[in-house]
Amino acid sequence: MGLKARVHVYPKPGVLDPQGRAIGQALGHLGFTGVAEVRQGKLIELSLSETDPAKARAQADEMCRRLLANTVIENYAIEIVPQGGR
């Protein structure tokens, strides 16, 4: 049974995040107070056939650099979990 790579992609601190700002404003209109900042990112879950966690991480890292994240404006983090895990 393979592994699952969970990739979090975020706008870098200081990079304008219009989606996050729109969510923050909408929350304000709905009456939610006490929300200082909102950032929106992407979450990508990959089901891999690779069973070695170190190799799965290296594979996911290459995918991030080549496709999933724009490293000029985005940071990413990779989490390797068992298939079927949360």
Whether 41 and 8 have beta carbons less than 8 Å apart is answered as yes
Does 81 participate in binding its own copies (rule CB under 8 A)?
no
Q: Determine which residue in the list 16, 36, 54, 72 makes contact with its own copies, applying CB under 8 A.
A: 36
Compute the chain's Rg from CA coordinates: 16
Q: How far is the CB of 79 from its own copies (least distance, A)?
A: 11
Does 26 participate in binding its own copies (rule CB under 8 A)?
yes
* 3-class SS of residue 4: strand
**Using CA atoms, how far apart are residues 46 and 75, in angstroms rounded to an integer?**
18
Residues of the shown chain interacting with its own copies in the complex, contacts defined by CB under 8 A? 2, 8-10, 20, 23, 26-27, 30, 32, 34-50, 59, 62-63, 66-68, 77, 86
